Structure 1
Amino acid sequence: MIKLNKKLIIGAVFLSLTFTGCNEILDEQPRSLYTVDYMNTADGINASLPSMYRHLRLLYGNGYFMSNCQNGTDESTFAQSADGNFRELDMSGNGNINPATFPTSMVWSAAFPNINTANAVIQRGPAFNVSEALISEARFFRAFDYFMLVQTYGGVPLNLGSGELMFNTDPVTTSERNTVPEVYTRAIIPDLKKAIDNLPTNPRVTGGLTKNVARLFLAKAYLTYGWWLQNPNNIPTYPETPRTDPDGHNAQFYFQQAYDLAMAGITNPGPYGLQPTYYDVNVGSNDRNNECMLYADHTQSSTFYNESDPVGFGSGWAPDNFAAWMQTWNYTAIRTSTSATSYTNTVSSVQREAAQSLGRPWVRMAPPIGVIKNTFADKTNDSRYDGTFVTTYRGNWNKGGVTNAVLYNANNLPVSPGGAILSFLNDDTQTPAYPSGAGQNGVGAGSLPGRADWVIAPNGISRIVYPGLWKIGTYRTDDPNGLGYPNAGLTRPFNVAKFSEFYFIAAEAAVKGASGTMSARDLINVIRARAGKWKFNNAQNTAYVADNSAAMIAATPATITIDYILAERSREYYGEFYRWYDLVRTQKWVDYSATYQIGGSSYGNHTPQTVNRTIQPFHYLRPIPQGQLDAMQVPADVKAKYQNPGY
């Protein structure tokens, strides 16, 4: 099955972690490796539990997994500095996804070692008097990983070499894939049901698992499995198997189960709930709020606990959190003049800073124009555009050693530190005067009469200049007056599950025929009403209190469709690694992503180019990674049958 080495780390964990008392953070103790012998001890079993939380860092906050989850969808395309890890996934003729493509292999390589660790805890924990509540944490993570695997690759092995769902201790070089229904009904659903029964209502450690976290993922698994059984667009599965449930249930049964379980999560929230505004959910100073149910955590206080130097140069590799860098363009290239009479002696007026709106630019991913114009069409009532993107880049030259109290920007107008240097306009009602090429400001931005900030309209967004991602951006508190440590990996948690998704799951299930006390429109309007409440305006960098809930509710269509839910999900979760899985689940990937518009890769490119993608039915499954195939010592025809068709 999955090739393991007894001398390698079980679960791919570099730290041994132990839990302390209730409501404490995870307490980690150094250990060079986990061996099979160590897993035969109580210490080994107990130490394995927190390692499962740590394995979330391999995916969530990882910029390459972000590419897997967003590039090639309507949410993202590759940007000017992208390599094959981003271009191949765009599906637009800039390379093809294949078994050696790294981002599509990440779930496989992260999940199976952790599954084997979970198997050890579940199998051996009772012998060491480990409580079922603790063992259920391992059950959750085993189900979580299998759910990620089955969505990504189709059917996957339940037997790693020692029997189905058993801890494997010996290297093996063969493998057999189970079918999708077997993975759901033998692993995911039973594990999550038991986790719901035995996990606590309140987390025993900060960020720990609870009944409602398990409810959320079981509801989502039911929803996804229901879609798979229904298969409205005849998307092929692999290994080939009839779209029938071993327990005799139909798709409608699972949609109803998803609805009922999501509603149970809403009506029994425990310590969770919705934040009052969308801004509150995502502002760095409010991280780990009660809407965030599960996250891959980090810290700025310790290199050891963070697993990387929180003040050094970030690796751009797991377990760092560096996803925000991918969709950050090189704003430091903006130039502003020191002269009041001519645009000369220019300086970098927006310098690299460890601030939520700035951070380290990598220019690997960009939002297509349709995201700005269509997905986030309402920028007045709906706070989510302002709470997602960086649309105003403000001067901070004073923090970087430039002593000028005033600089001169567009139209040679004066700007002070904190003033707007470059802004992305909300719409195309005004056409900026764009320069030829990079122009005076160095990035090809345009101007409007009377405005001191350089401007770019939505139609002028390109692969090299585009709104950045505020919601997942850098946030630190250790250098409030300077530029801080913008090159270090982010020390924020990266959210994996939010309480708000209960409403979306129940609404989607209702559209698919489930019934209950709240309609799909009722559920979506809870989210939309919250989106209409403003606390702070990022674009204007000022407090702004407004309640547009009534207008948001009034604009909700009378009949909610899957298309409307997908649009709302993108507004709510843009940039949070949901989109490819949402479009694959609902079989809408081609409908939403077959074409997009964006400008070119050079400064001054402001003419939208229409790009066509080729997305075929077999692309709805990612390829089995080449590393897995290479590790299998089986005949070539067996390897060929192991791989998903089309690859």
Structure 2
Amino acid sequence: MKNIISILALTLLFLAGCESFLEEENKSNVTAEEFYVTEEGYSALINANYSALREIYGDFAWLFCAGTDMYSEGRDSEPVGLSRYSNLNSSSEGVDHLYKTCFTAVQRANTAIYYASLTEPTADLDQRVAEMKALRAHAYFLLVQTYGGVPLITDLIADAIVTFDRSSAEDIYTQIVTDLTEALPVVSAGAFDGRVNQKTVQFLLAKVLLTRGYESFAGATDFADAAAYADAVIGGQALDIPFNDLWLPTNEMNAETIFSVQFDQGSTSAVQGELGNRQQNFFGSYTGGTEVAGKAPYKSYNLCPNNFALSLFEQGDERWEGTFMTTVYDRYFDYFDVEDKSTLDVAHFYAPAWYTAADKLAFTTANPDATYHDYGTYDPEGADISGNWATIIVKKFDDPKAQFGANGDKGRTSNRDVVIARLADAYLVAAEAYLQAGDATTGLAKLNVVRARANVANATAGEFDIDYILDERGRELLGEYHRWFDLKRTGKLVERAAAHHMWIEASNFVGNGGEMKVLRPIPQSALDLNQNKDFAQNPAYN
């Protein structure tokens, strides 16, 4: 028997998945067989599955964003293997993050599915099992994109197993699609409330089939099916929320959110700084220690938007102001907290590419004490990164209610939700899927819906190709934990990272035997624990 005081059960005490429904009491000295067969215990087990998402998305963002075409390190170094590829190996810092957290999620999902046949029947039991299948599919989707084939485990592991086989990526995708298609008709058809619903599953199916469509083992209709599922998510819904409003700290559960990882102060306060998320910490320069005095939030000086990322925006694109903190007031969070900003002192201003000499003169005359950052001087390549406030800051994820300070192990201070699927992304997935299915006209129309909300001109048929889609995804989704997967999926990782990342050359990707490092290595810790010595490492790292 497994005592409830296990990693799984401890999670029930400290973590929760959604403010509205994940408040559970931990039961010590009770076995799983006794606890999970009760309605209360099974509910706690479901909640533990949602809380696993917090560990996947709540910590460092290297596997999602580092080593791509849009983000470069500022003053503080990133894990060199993941950021530059030149020294990437199975023991590199950070390569095991998704391996550990996603297999934890898989084990929790398998446990919930197993106990569903043993626990007290409830009206929503089948729906909960379907949610668990979707969460298992989500975890395996992250795993297969990152590492390729991995162990395929769909049963509860109650005792230690020290030998695992490696399934093929094709088999992993087959299981993912099976889980999602089985879940789709059973999960809630209602609005997103923190739990997996039908739009969540449809979005995952669209993304999974789109991704598999590029593989050698793709299904003949993968791109067309991905487009159809993306259309089902869209369901005629317009992008009618202004881009800036999408990211207001009080508007996280807006009508365009398809799925997000839920955080709230009540469920993370038990261990301050360890149970929230780090998303607001990235994507900007250090703020000089003023966070200690309550004037500015901690920023890590990592994953700073580079010159290429900034160059994607044109005059009039509402995503420029909606994404970046272009005007920094003396107290940073006054941007959110003060309605009338006319009397506030401006500390920093980051001029866009289209500002003229006359624009600069007008601003500096009106704000003589502000530091004016000319365009081209506040990206990691153009800035003097030895100083503070040297690179522009992404404001989309700022949390005015979080602690001002905290770094290192105490840096998970934000309680804002991490949005991992939203309506504009569904439009862009549809655009890409239609393009690859041979219907560029419909794909272009989907992409232009996104551009229309941003107040920029339609893309033309002559411009519309996979590179244009990646540029548009860069503008729309900057900082949203998709970029490495986007480049890897489309086969553009080497080309675009080498072209736009200041520390990457194409030769950095060349691994053992000339194999390219377009998968991450299987972590050495997993290989060491596995007594199956025929378990193969990915070719570039052999």
- Scaled to the shorter chain, the TM-score interval is 0.7 to 0.9
Map of 1:177 onto structure 2: 166
Question: Shift of residue 494 of structure 1?
Answer: 1.2
CA distance in 2, matches of 1:557, 1:471: 31
Map of 2:256 onto structure 1: 291
Map of 1:90 onto structure 2: 83
Give matches, 1:180-199, under 5 Å: 180-185=169-174, 187-199=175-187
Deviations 1:263-317 (A, max 9, x none): 1221276xxx6342111111112122121222222223x2xx12555xx5x34xx
CA distance in 2, matches of 1:307, 1:38: 29
Question: Shift of residue 217 of structure 1?
Answer: 0.2
Identity of aligned residues (%): 24
The alignment status of 1:475 with 2:397, answered yes or no, reads no
Aligned amino acid, residue 157 of structure 1: P
Question: Shift of residue 368 of structure 1?
Answer: 1.5
Map of 2:376 onto structure 1: 459
CA distance in 2, matches of 1:308, 1:390: 31
CA distance in 1, matches of 2:488, 2:16: 37
Question: Shift of residue 123 of structure 1?
Answer: 2.8
Question: Shift of residue 90 of structure 1?
Answer: 2.0
More strand by share: 1
Map of 1:28 onto structure 2: 24
Larger radius of gyration: 1
Question: Shift of residue 59 of structure 1?
Answer: 2.3
The 3 A distance-change label for structure 1 pair 566 and 352 is farther
Question: Shift of residue 618 of structure 1?
Answer: 3.0
CA distance in 2, matches of 1:48, 1:612: 46
Aligned amino acid, residue 152 of structure 1: T
Aligned amino acid, residue 193 of structure 1: T
Deviations 1:472-519 (A, max 9, x none): 11232x9xxxxx755470121111211222211111011102559x71
Give matches, 1:317-328, under 5 Å: 319-328=275-284
CA distance in 2, matches of 1:118, 1:514: 37
Cα contact 1:69–1:579 (8 A) shared by 2: yes
Deviations 1:81-129 (A, max 9, x none): 225x3x3322165xx2222234221111111122122112223303333
Question: Shift of residue 361 of structure 1?
Answer: 2.6
Map of 1:577 onto structure 2: 481
Cα contact 1:389–1:467 (8 A) shared by 2: yes
Please point out which of 494, 499, 513 is paired with 1:590: 494
Cα contact 1:510–1:520 (8 A) shared by 2: yes
Map of 1:407 onto structure 2: none
Deviations 1:43-101 (A, max 9, x none): 44332111111111112242x2x122111111111121225x3x3322165xx222223
CA distance in 1, matches of 2:82, 2:17: 39
The 3 A distance-change label for structure 1 pair 384 and 173 is same
Aligned amino acid, residue 472 of structure 1: F
Cα contact 1:16–1:51 (8 A) shared by 2: no
Map of 1:259 onto structure 2: 227
Deviations 1:379-432 (A, max 9, x none): x32111111111222223999xxxxxxxxxxxxxxx996222221221287689
Map of 2:337 onto structure 1: none
Map of 2:467 onto structure 1: 563
The alignment status of 1:168 with 2:106, answered yes or no, reads no
Please point out which of 618, 624, 628 is paired with 2:522: 624
The alignment status of 1:306 with 2:268, answered yes or no, reads yes
Question: Shift of residue 329 of structure 1?
Answer: 1.7
Aligned amino acid, residue 519 of structure 2: L
Deviations 1:501-560 (A, max 9, x none): 2211111011102559x711111111111112xxxxxxxxxxxxxxxxxxx234545552
Please point out which of 349, 353, 357 is paired with 1:423: 349
Map of 1:149 onto structure 2: 143
Q: The residue matched to 2:177 in structure 1 has which SS?
A: helix
The alignment status of 1:525 with 2:525, answered yes or no, reads no
Question: Shift of residue 646 of structure 1?
Answer: 2.0
Please point out which of 124, 133, 139 is paired with 2:133: 139
The alignment status of 1:383 with 2:318, answered yes or no, reads yes
Deviations 1:155-174 (A, max 9, x none): 11113xxxxx1111110111
Map of 2:194 onto structure 1: 207
Query: Greater CA deviation, 140-149 or 126-135?
Result: 126-135
Cα contact 1:351–1:397 (8 A) shared by 2: no
The 3 A distance-change label for structure 1 pair 219 and 620 is same
CA distance in 2, matches of 1:419, 1:19: 39
The 3 A distance-change label for structure 1 pair 299 and 501 is same
CA distance in 2, matches of 1:331, 1:52: 36
Cα contact 1:215–1:262 (8 A) shared by 2: yes
CA distance in 1, matches of 2:375, 2:176: 43
Cα contact 1:67–1:89 (8 A) shared by 2: yes
Map of 2:206 onto structure 1: 219
Map of 2:33 onto structure 1: 37
The alignment status of 1:55 with 2:40, answered yes or no, reads no
The alignment status of 1:69 with 2:64, answered yes or no, reads yes
Question: Shift of residue 34 of structure 1?
Answer: 8.8
The 3 A distance-change label for structure 1 pair 618 and 35 is farther
Cα contact 1:5–1:170 (8 A) shared by 2: no
Cα contact 2:234–2:427 (8 A) shared by 1: yes
Map of 2:244 onto structure 1: 279
Give matches, 1:488-567, under 5 Å: 489-515=413-439, 519-532=442-455, 552-567=456-471
Cα contact 2:329–2:348 (8 A) shared by 1: yes
TM-score after normalising by structure 2: 0.84
How many residue pairs align between the two structures? 508
Q: The residue matched to 1:295 in structure 2 has which SS?
A: strand
Aligned amino acid, residue 23 of structure 2: D
Question: Shift of residue 38 of structure 1?
Answer: 5.0
CA distance in 2, matches of 1:460, 1:628: 43
Aligned amino acid, residue 393 of structure 1: V
More helix by share: 2
Deviations 1:599-627 (A, max 9, x none): xxxxxxxxxxx864622353211111122
* Gaps in structure 1 of 5+ consecutive residues: 160-164, 230-243, 334-347, 400-414, 433-446, 479-483, 533-551, 599-609
> What CA RMSD, in Å, does the superposition of the two structures yield over aligned residues?
3.4
The 3 A distance-change label for structure 1 pair 366 and 38 is farther
CA distance in 2, matches of 1:644, 1:473: 40
Question: Shift of residue 7 of structure 1?
Answer: 6.8
The 3 A distance-change label for structure 1 pair 32 and 382 is farther
Aligned amino acid, residue 29 of structure 1: E
TM-score after normalising by structure 1: 0.71
CA distance in 1, matches of 2:332, 2:168: 58
The alignment status of 1:115 with 2:106, answered yes or no, reads yes
Question: Shift of residue 209 of structure 1?
Answer: 1.3
Map of 2:338 onto structure 1: none
